[in-house]
Amino acid sequence: MDFSALAERLLPGEYPALETFEKRYPPRDLPKNAEVTRLAPSPTGFIHLGNLFVAIANERIAHRSGGTLYLRIEDTDLKRKVEGAVEAVIAALDYFDIRFDEGAQIGGDDTYAPWYQRQRADIYRAYAKELIRRGRAYPCFCTEEELSALRAEQTEKKEVTGYYGKYARCRNLSEEEIYAALDAGKPYVIRLRSMGDASRHFTFHDEIKGEITVTQNDQDVVILKSDGIPTYHFAHAVDDHLMRTTLVIRGEEWLASLPIHLELFDVLGFRPPKYGHNCSLMKMDGASRRKLSKRKDPELSLSFYRQEGYHPFAVKVYMLTLLNSDFEEWHAKFPDKPLEEFPFRISKMGKSGALFDLDKLNDISRTELSRLSAEEMLAFLRTWAQAFGTPEQQAYFADEEYLLKVLALCMGTAGKKRRKDFVTARQAMEEIGYFFSAYAQRDAYGVDEGTRRAILEGFLATYDPKNDAQVWFSKVKELAANLGFAAEMRDYKADPAAYKGSVSDVAQVLRVAVTGRANTPDLWTIMQILGEERTRGRILAAARA
């Protein structure tokens, strides 16, 4: 068969000689051992924790090695494309401080542009044309119906499904048959003519999983779809070669396609990059582990973390904890060192599923937020509230001085042991709500109605906002004693039956009346911040309720 004539018929016109691409996209001028990694999302509008997980690993490895991280948009599948998705991907990764050196919407050195696969269509076609010319790719006219019938037949016979060997019907079409189909205007795709043998195994070194044994590819995979746009497999080989990627870290769901990719690199005459297939994020579901699911787990979506107001730094700390086994210890030892200084290594990445646990993230978040200054916390809350807060919450920022006092109280004094009241921005805004408006919910007072009134009215009778904390507390003690409560904790403990309770029960009634909560930071300070009018008003209202 005259393959050159066929190539011309299938992809007519002048395409640049392949060497020109080698020249246009030369090897990168980087230090030895520098890794070039990339993120290659499809613009489907859904960016998830798994993407971030892989992104952090790619970013750390590229930058620690003095290499480059770039962003390529894999938009070959128009059906899945969502408007604004690229911006959403960039915004989501930017929130977690993933810094790209170059790429779609990023700019940077444009030697390897364009970064949108659709804009590279001619490059893939040039390579596909060459493969047809060499007899290593061929047109396939099978229809969707024929392919599903084939699949059904293979499933029925319990054979591997796909287009391969004796099932690859169009692989052996004669020249006449091909031209007749083309003349008849039948739509076609271009397939690889695989030379592999699925009964043969080979061992492959994965940078994360180590040695793995896989079988050769024998599938005649589609490389160009009927619209002339490449499949993921083909675009991956062409792009990662021409963009001079040295290391591909991607989700382990791609491991099954690895033999296809290696055959494609081989037939194209490219040296494959190193690969690291990253374990999936799992979660406990009852007693068993399962993969995080888009349908069942809102925490899979990255937008969840922004909406809830997780501090991106805390999420990053947690991701690093999952990615490198000794990170947690390092961070505990050097909490003030920038994360970039951690010796991140691909060799320390887990081989099998990482267990994602929201409680653990919450713990980390408490710790990381407690390390912020009140000013930093205010700035973080403001950004969150502008996007996700209620109008009432947005109004908390009208008086920053007041808000800072509230935050300083809830976070504790710098240097001393800090409080860990805050987990997320959303929760923190709810937590401090009682400083701004009358609360709707109230914890239990813990005493009967009559006692409650007596405590509240008794407090108001001697309340003086000018009293310092000590005087204030001695008055509370006096009140306690007058009402049959032990003024000193040790007296109560020594003989509980002799008292109605202790001074802490009296303080609890006041606390609940003023804040609605049984657990708060120091009550005297809360009253100071709230001011006399609000404090009196709330206690009075509670006494009358």
CB nearer ligand GLU, residue 239 or residue 368? 239
- Residues between 215 and 234 with contacts to ligand GLU, criterion CB under 6 A: 232
129 sits near ligand GLU (criterion: CB under 6 A): no
236 sits near ligand GLU (criterion: CB under 6 A): yes
Question: Minimum distance between the CB of residue 411 and ligand GLU, rounded to whole angstroms?
Answer: 40
Other Cβ atoms closer than 10 A to 247: 21
Which of 48, 250, 311, 331 contacts ligand GLU by CB under 6 A?
A: 250
CB nearer ligand GLU, residue 42 or residue 365? 42
Question: Minimum distance between the CB of residue 342 and ligand GLU, rounded to whole angstroms?
Answer: 24
CB nearer ligand GLU, residue 277 or residue 371? 277
The reply to whether 79 belongs to the active site is no
CB nearer ligand GLU, residue 127 or residue 232? 232
Q: What span, in angstroms and rounded, lies between the C-alpha atoms of 234 and 223?
A: 5
Q: What span, in angstroms and rounded, lies between the C-alpha atoms of 200 and 50?
A: 32
CB nearer ligand GLU, residue 60 or residue 250? 250
Number of residues that bind ligand GLU (CB under 6 A): 9
Contact segment (CB under 6 A) with ligand GLU among 203-211, 246-254, 413-421, 498-506 equals: 246-254
User: What x/- string results for residues 22 through 51 when contact with ligand GLU is judged by CB under 6 A?
Assistant: ------------------xxx---------
Question: Minimum distance between the CB of residue 261 and ligand GLU, rounded to whole angstroms?
Answer: 9
Question: Minimum distance between the CB of residue 249 and ligand GLU, rounded to whole angstroms?
Answer: 8
- Residues between 63 and 122 with contacts to ligand GLU, criterion CB under 6 A: 74
CB nearer ligand GLU, residue 40 or residue 92? 40
Helix (H) or strand (E) holding 450, with range, is helix 449-462
Contact 7, 224 (CB under 8 A): no
CB nearer ligand GLU, residue 236 or residue 311? 236
Q: DSSP assignment, residue 216?
A: P
Q: What span, in angstroms and rounded, lies between the C-alpha atoms of 116 and 40?
A: 10
Annotated catalytic residue, options 294, 296, 337, 493: 294
Question: Minimum distance between the CB of residue 146 and ligand GLU, rounded to whole angstroms?
Answer: 28
Nearest to 162 by CA among 257, 42, 264, 228: 257
Question: Minimum distance between the CB of residue 168 and ligand GLU, rounded to whole angstroms?
Answer: 25
Contact 14, 57 (CB under 8 A): no
Q: Describe the crossing of helices 503-515 and 449-462 by its angle, rounded to 10 degrees.
A: 80
**In angstroms, what CA-CA distances link 487 with 22, 492, 524?**
85, 8, 17
Question: Minimum distance between the CB of residue 268 and ligand GLU, rounded to whole angstroms?
Answer: 16
Instruction: Locate 36 and state its tokens.
Output: 């070039």
User: What x/- string results for residues 251 through 270 when contact with ligand GLU is judged by CB under 6 A?
Assistant: ---x----------------
Q: What span, in angstroms and rounded, lies between the C-alpha atoms of 16 and 24?
A: 11
170 contact partners, CB below 8 Å, separation of at least 6 = 138, 139, 140, 141, 142, 191
Contact 441, 524 (CB under 8 A): no
216 contact partners, CB below 8 Å, separation of at least 6 = 196, 197, 198, 200, 201, 202, 259, 263
Contact 520, 511 (CB under 8 A): yes
Contacts with ligand GLU by CB under 6 A lie at 40-42, 74, 232, 236, 248, 250, 254
Catalytic residues: 294
